[in-house]
Amino acid sequence: MSTVLEFFLGGEPQRVEGVEPTTTLLDYLRDDRALTGTKEGCNEGDCGACTVLLGQYDPLGEAVTYRAVNACITLLPAVHRFWVVTVEDLSNGLDSLHPVQEAMVRRHGSQCGFCTPGFVMSLAAMHLDNAPADQAESYIAGNLCRCTGYGPILEAAKDSVAAPKDPAFAAKEHQAVAWFRSLSIDTGLFYDVAQATYDAPVGLKALLQARKDNPEAVLVAGTTELGLWLNKDLQDFPKLISTTRVPEMTAVAFQPDGTLVIGGGATYEQAWPLLRQVIPEGQDWFERFASKQIRQQATIGGNIVNASPIGDGPPVFLALNASVELASVSGTRVLPLSEFFVGYKTTALAADEILTAIHVPPRENDQLFAALKVSKRKDQDISAVMAVFSWRLSEGCFRDVRIAFGGMSATPMLAAFTNAVLEGAPVTEETAQQALASLDDDFSPIDDLRATAWYRMTVSQNLLQQALAEAVETAAEAAA
């Protein structure tokens, strides 16, 4: 077990002791290392000015993979055994620009320049991923710019995907690979500074034990929630236990019976390639979940445990009839997700338990699925309403109806009355009308600045009405 943070930065291996574990990567770079190219625009994960890349070595593929993250909500201990790539690493001084930097200059993608390093890093991630040009918007959805209006940056993104790999950067990568190879096997991290600890055990058993032994400790995964509690609410976290070094928890795989098991520590980006096979209709839902930077950090487990009424994940998993696997040293239980949410931001998770996996049952061939998010802006915005519909049409009747909503009550919730009205009922206009009326029994949404209760209810009814109308039409066509 390491008690020292080890990472690679600025072409050099780093060994860090004595920096408090709740120090963010951004503060460390700017204040401790005077690497001021990485900017602070919000300190809340919203603006992307602090975007850096975390490089990780895959010994099997013998390649480094990168993900763009927001340094402002990444804790320094989370970069243990990573290569931290900042804007300073992309070029060799002013004269030899990386292709993405060159493209930004050529396209006039920078005006005041403050957001620019963050955009450059997002574009670098895109370049390194060899992503197709049409994904440019997705790569920069997490970066804000108030000057350019984005058009020139999107152009720069398109130019830079076509550009060849940068030899100067490849040389740096080569150095990093040598460092990765020199690392001994990961036995976990126990980082302890001035009575604050960050414990990142390797292996589920050790994690569960740590959870049991330290009931006062706070569990962290992607820290996309915790980072805000730290930066915005100025909360103290003297004891943290991290799930990120537990391979069992990041695994995402289909079981032989077709159930998709998503590790409780898997991020949205990690889970999506397989989850997409279950719900290809969810592409839009996925892309509108926060930003690429956040999706590469945020775990689905964290999103569910957080139990926010406006979370985008829970309604989807409710409609998919998912269960959660909750483990402690004394054993494991599996609970239907609908029983997991017990009240406003409270769940059935016991003090010594960890959410270790989400089980998504196999989907029936004829199961309809739709996830619809309504918000003010398309990218990275909080939902006013998140509506998810799932049902089958069988012999003219609705079956296995699971309609779930976010933004409509204190917890993400199945629309129990409406589901009951529809279940087994004939697919007719009349049924549809009854179902719509029953939404009122299921929910009494609130007014807030994102939307009024009236808007929430009526938009939900509209969305449901559309979906039901299509169902009625489909049934009529099938009958004809």
Partner 1 sequence: MGIVEKFSTGASVRRLEDERFVTGQGQYTDDVNIDGQVYMVVVRSPFAHAIIKSINTDDVKDADGVLGVYTGADFVAAGGANKMPYAIVGQESAKPDRTILADGRVRFAGEPVAIIVAETQAQAEEASELIDVDYDILDAVTDIESAIAPDAPLVHDDAPGNIAFRWRGQGDDAQMEQILSEAETVVEMRLENNRVIVVAMEPRAAVAHMDGDKLTVITSTQGGWALKDRLSACLGLEKENVRVVTPDVGGGFGMKAFTYPEQYLAPFAAIQLGRPVKWLAGRGESMLSDNMGRDHISNAKLALDKDHRITGIDIHSYAGMGAYFSQFAQGIPTMLQEKILPGVYDIPASRFRVDGVFTNSTQIDAYRGAGRPEGIYLLERLMDVAAKHVGMDPIEFRSLNFIRPEQMPYKTAVGLTYDVGEFEKLMRAALVKADYDGLAKRQAASAAKGLRRDMGLCYYVECTLGAPHEDSTFTFNPTGQLEVTVGTQSNGQGHETVYAQVVHEQTGVPIEDIVIVQGDTDRIKNGGGTGGSRSLIAQAIAMRAAARALIEKAQDHAAEKLECAPEDLSFDDGAFRVSGTDISLDLKTLAGGLPQGTLDVEAGHDDYTSTFPNGCHIAEVEVDEETGVVTLENYVVVDDFGLLYNPLVVQGQVHGGIVQGLGQALMERTVYDETGQLLTGSFMDYTVPRADTISDIDFTHMGVKSLNNEMGIKGCGEAGTVGACAAVMNAIQRALDPLDVGFVDMPATPDRLWRQIRAAS
CB 139 within 8 A of CB 122: yes
CB 354 within 8 A of CB 208: yes
Q: What is the DSSP string of 324-365?
A: EEEEETTEEEEEEHHHHEEETTEES--TT-EEEEEEEPPPPT
CB 115 within 8 A of CB 145: yes
Strand locations in 163-290, DSSP E? 189-193, 196-200, 218-220, 239-242, 252-254, 260-263
Strand locations in 201-284, DSSP E? 218-220, 239-242, 252-254, 260-263
Site for partner 1 in 296-355 (CB under 8 A): none
How many residues sit in the footprint of partner 1 (CB under 8 A)?
77
The residue assigned the tokens 């009205």 is: 421
* Interacting residue with ligand FES among 22, 23, 43, 223 (CB under 6 A): 43
- Using the rule CB under 8 A, is 371 a contact of partner 1? no
Which residue in 125, 114, 22 sits closest to 64, CA to CA? 125
Q: How long, in residues, is the chain?
A: 480
What does the alpha-carbon distance between residue 346 and residue 175 come to, in Å, rounded to a whole number? 47
Q: Which does 221 bind (CB under 5 to 8 A by kind): ligand FAD, ligand FES, partner 1, none?
A: ligand FAD
- Using the rule CB under 6 A, is 77 a contact of ligand FAD? no
- Using the rule CB under 6 A, is 47 a contact of ligand FES? yes
CB 289 within 8 A of CB 268: yes
Q: Which does 223 bind (CB under 5 to 8 A by kind): ligand FES, ligand FAD, partner 1, none?
A: ligand FAD
Which residue in 299, 312, 313, 296 sits closest to 225, CA to CA? 299
Nearer to ligand FAD, 123 or 294 (CB): 294
Nearer to ligand FES, 29 or 320 (CB): 29
CA angle 311, 139, 412 (to 5 degrees): 5
Site for ligand FES in 317-336 (CB under 6 A): none
What does the alpha-carbon distance between residue 149 and residue 151 come to, in Å, rounded to a whole number? 6
Q: Which does 362 bind (CB under 5 to 8 A by kind): ligand FAD, ligand FES, partner 1, none?
A: none
Report residue 174 CA to chain centroid gap: 30
Site for partner 1 in 434-463 (CB under 8 A): 449-452, 454-455, 458-459, 462-463
* Interacting residue with ligand FAD among 55, 99, 117, 311 (CB under 6 A): 311
Nearer to ligand FES, 30 or 245 (CB): 30
Q: Which does 462 bind (CB under 5 to 8 A by kind): ligand FES, ligand FAD, partner 1, none?
A: partner 1
* Interacting residue with partner 1 among 51, 70, 91, 297 (CB under 8 A): 91
What letter represents residue 286's amino acid? F
Stretch of residues binding ligand FAD (CB under 6 A), selected from 81-89, 151-159, 212-220, 315-323: 212-220
Site for ligand FAD in 334-353 (CB under 6 A): 349
Stretch of residues binding ligand FAD (CB under 6 A), selected from 74-82, 290-298, 426-434, 440-448: 290-298
> In whole angstroms, how close is the CB of 367 to partner 1 at the nearest point?
24
The residue assigned the tokens 């990568």 is: 173
3-state helix, strand, coil in the chain (%, to 5): 40, 25, 40
CA dihedral 370, 375, 381, 387 (to 10 degrees): -30
Stretch of residues binding ligand FAD (CB under 6 A), selected from 101-109, 291-299, 334-342, 397-405: 291-299
Stretch of residues binding ligand FES (CB under 6 A), selected from 5-13, 110-118, 205-213, 464-472: 110-118
Stretch of residues binding partner 1 (CB under 8 A), selected from 139-147, 199-207, 411-419, 432-440: 139-147
> In whole angstroms, how close is the CB of 143 to ligand FES at the nearest point?
8
CA dihedral 58, 59, 62, 67 (to 10 degrees): 10
- Using the rule CB under 8 A, is 113 a contact of partner 1? yes
Nearer to ligand FES, 42 or 410 (CB): 42
* Interacting residue with partner 1 among 68, 71, 104, 357 (CB under 8 A): 104
Q: Which does 50 bind (CB under 5 to 8 A by kind): ligand FAD, partner 1, ligand FES, none?
A: ligand FES
Q: Could you tell me the two tokens for 154?
A: 């999107």
Q: Which does 264 bind (CB under 5 to 8 A by kind): ligand FES, ligand FAD, partner 1, none?
A: ligand FAD
- Using the rule CB under 6 A, is 110 a contact of ligand FES? yes
Report residue 469 CA to chain centroid gap: 33
Stretch of residues binding partner 1 (CB under 8 A), selected from 7-15, 40-48, 182-190, 392-400: 40-48
CB 95 within 8 A of CB 120: no
- Using the rule CB under 6 A, is 301 a contact of ligand FAD? yes
CB 456 within 8 A of CB 408: yes
Please report, as ranges, the residues that interact with ligand FAD according to CB under 6 A. Answer: 45-46, 73, 218-226, 228, 243, 264-265, 289-290, 294, 297-299, 301-303, 305-306, 311-313, 349, 354-355, 380
Please report, as ranges, the residues that interact with ligand FES according to CB under 6 A. Answer: 40-43, 45-50, 70, 72, 110-116, 145-148
